[in-house]
Structure 1
Amino acid sequence: SGTDEKKIIEVFSSRTSEQRQQIKQKYKALYNKDLEEDLKGDLSGNFEKVVLALLDLPCEYEARELRKAMKGAGTDESLLIEILCTRNNKEIVNIKEAYKRLFDRDLESDVKSDTSGSLQKILVTVLEATRDETQQVNAELAEQDATDLYKAGEGRWGTEELAFNVVLAKRSYSQLRATFQAYEKVCGKDIEESIKSETSGDLEKAYLTLVSCAKDCPGYFATLLNKSMEGAGTDEETLIRILVTRAEVGYPVTCDTSHQLWEK
């Protein structure tokens, strides 16, 4: 009789992850069958990918994505950065636990063995999940951090990344916004410009991601979504990942983005 895709979209996209888990359990109780397995048989392509991803717990989905990024030859550093540098403490802890549960492996050890140098250091710092999450801003600390960042980067040749790692991975987002303003006064240019001139490659990408999220996290993901849809082909993997993991935390899944995928 065919699958009512419209109905599936309606049910799944308007529920929280927790509600989708309850639907899964209820389905199993009522029909003694796995909802995922039934849907796999009826769906295909991107539509199937999105629906199955929506049925995963966000932390488990992200753990699978991270494992995929590090498995086999070569590492997808961009994916490690996109997930690890944009999550709050609780999300990082949940991802680490899910990774252990699903693969019986330690996420931090895998990241250490699959990355090196400066990128490894910042990712390991982020994985400690010890960012201050209070809202208070300490103006003196902002000025001190801004000076430390200036000395570590623009103030001399070769960036001393330890100062950057501690500030970008440990300070609260509101504190960082104050630090970036203070930095501009000290340095005469914004923090992104300094990062671009002092670092390159994956380290630059990690630092810029941390700065973007501190300044405007929904804006960071909106830009990523936009990039995944511009040009000739849609980057479906990125699109699906953002739709699935970020819709949960208040980044609305827009009709436009959904249609890009459902149509394919």
Structure 2
Amino acid sequence: MGNFHPTIRHHHDFDPERDAKKIHKACKGLGTDEKAIIEVLANRSSDQRQEVKQKYKAMYGKVLSPLFIIIYIYIYIVQRYLTQHCFEQEDLQFYCRYIEFHTIVRLLISFTLFQQIRNIKASYKRLFDRDLEDDVKSDTSGYFKKILVSLLQANRDEGLEIDERRAGEDAQRLYEAGQARWGTEESEFNVILATRNYMQLRAIFKAYEILHGKNIEDVIKNETSGNLKSAYLTIVQCTKDCQAYFAKKLYKAMKGAGTDEDTLIRIIVTRAEIDLETIKQKYLELYKKSLADAVKSDTSGDFGKLLIALLH
């Protein structure tokens, strides 16, 4: 699965009371001190932000609700809410619910560790008092819903063992479920893609190419469509080289005239505590330009400052 080197680690000189006071002061008065808020949000781990949230509530009697949304939240806070009586939960509920669900679906597919899935489910429950799986079931359909529900169970084998015989058998099952029949039997794809360990999946994809002379990504493109195709391809690409997958997504988000800000937010914020440092190295390797320089030239204002802070 590659190396996992984050850009955000535990802040050594951490004082939750000092951070709570800094955020409270930054939000008081006519303006907002975005620089102070960025300094806290971009340089504290998730656990530390939780402590700040708890300390803030104890000191000021208000819930710092955005701090425990572990996905992408920093930028949206800075851009849209810090200047409007920041951190009032009632004002955030509808907006966060909409952004959270549609973002969470994309994130869930790319998560490779059980703990990431457990964290995302727990955060969703804390913020909305709703079960993420229930919302996935009601807001999606078909085999796309089934692959998401399967992933939410966090039942993937997390071992590193490879069974070559079974890899060949699974490759044949995928062939018979796709290329070899009229129409695709998606349930076979779901079972294999959602439960086999990542080293085993690599062996399955290699066996498929040897046995049937076709890249598994090409098979998926030919046999599926829409959200399901996107989900399957993401799983395959993250299996083969997770950091390259995200580096390519970041490059695509900044290529051309416009900038896909949602993708920049989603990847940089969510991978900062996982493997963003490794993604930066992969980006430099692929595109001969540092990710920080690319982001700096493609963004501006507090949005750009926060992303750059997260990259360092």
Same fold per superposition (TM over 0.5): yes
Q: Cα RMSD between the aligned structures?
A: 3.3
Question: How many residues end up aligned between the 2 structures?
Answer: 241
SS at match of 1:130: coil
Corresponding position: 1:112 with 2:137: yes
Pick one of 5, 15, 18 that aligns with 2:47.
18
Distance 1:120 1:244, change over 3 A: same
SS at match of 1:249: coil
Check whether the contact 1:50–1:244 (CA below 8 A) recurs between aligned residues. Answer: no
Cα distance in 2 between the residues matched to 1:245 and 1:167: 26
Corresponding position: 1:92 with 2:121: no
Corresponding position: 1:164 with 2:164: no
Q: What do the CA deviations read for 1:46-103 (whole angstroms, capped 9, x no partner)?
A: 6814998xxx9xxxxxxx86x41587xxxx5xx4542111112221122222222221
Counterpart of 2:98? 68
Corresponding position: 1:103 with 2:110: no
Pick one of 274, 277, 291 that aligns with 1:249.
274
Check whether the contact 1:195–1:208 (CA below 8 A) recurs between aligned residues. Answer: yes
Structure 1 position 154, deviation (Å) = 0.9
Structure 1 position 163, deviation (Å) = 1.0
Check whether the contact 1:149–1:163 (CA below 8 A) recurs between aligned residues. Answer: yes
Counterpart of 1:129? 154
Distance 1:150 1:15, change over 3 A: same
> Which amino acid in structure 2 is aligned with residue 202 of structure 1?
N
What aligned pairs does 1:148-163 form with structure 2 within 5 A after superposition?
148-163=173-188
Counterpart of 1:82? 106
Check whether the contact 1:133–1:172 (CA below 8 A) recurs between aligned residues. Answer: yes
Cα distance in 1 between the residues matched to 2:164 and 2:251: 35
**TM-score, normalising length from structure 2?**
0.66
Corresponding position: 1:176 with 2:213: no
Cα distance in 2 between the residues matched to 1:139 and 1:214: 17
Distance 1:114 1:157, change over 3 A: same
Corresponding position: 1:192 with 2:217: yes
> Which amino acid in structure 1 is aligned with residue 292 of structure 2?
C
Check whether the contact 2:34–2:78 (CA below 8 A) recurs between aligned residues. Answer: no
Q: What do the CA deviations read for 1:96-137 (whole angstroms, capped 9, x no partner)?
A: 222222212221121111111121111111111101111111
SS at match of 1:248: coil
Distance 1:117 1:3, change over 3 A: closer
SS at match of 2:156: coil
Q: What do the CA deviations read for 1:153-211 (whole angstroms, capped 9, x no partner)?
A: 11111111111001101111111111110010111011001011111111111110110
Structure 1 position 32, deviation (Å) = 4.4
Counterpart of 1:48? 78
Cα distance in 1 between the residues matched to 2:151 and 2:75: 34
> Which amino acid in structure 1 is aligned with residue 255 of structure 2?
E
SS at match of 1:180: helix
Check whether the contact 1:135–1:174 (CA below 8 A) recurs between aligned residues. Answer: yes
**TM-score, normalising length from structure 1?**
0.77
> Which amino acid in structure 2 is aligned with residue 174 of structure 1?
M
Cα distance in 2 between the residues matched to 1:49 and 1:126: 32
Structure 1 position 238, deviation (Å) = 1.9
> Which amino acid in structure 1 is aligned with residue 128 of structure 2?
F
Share of identical aligned residues, percent? 52
Distance 1:262 1:247, change over 3 A: farther
Distance 1:127 1:36, change over 3 A: closer
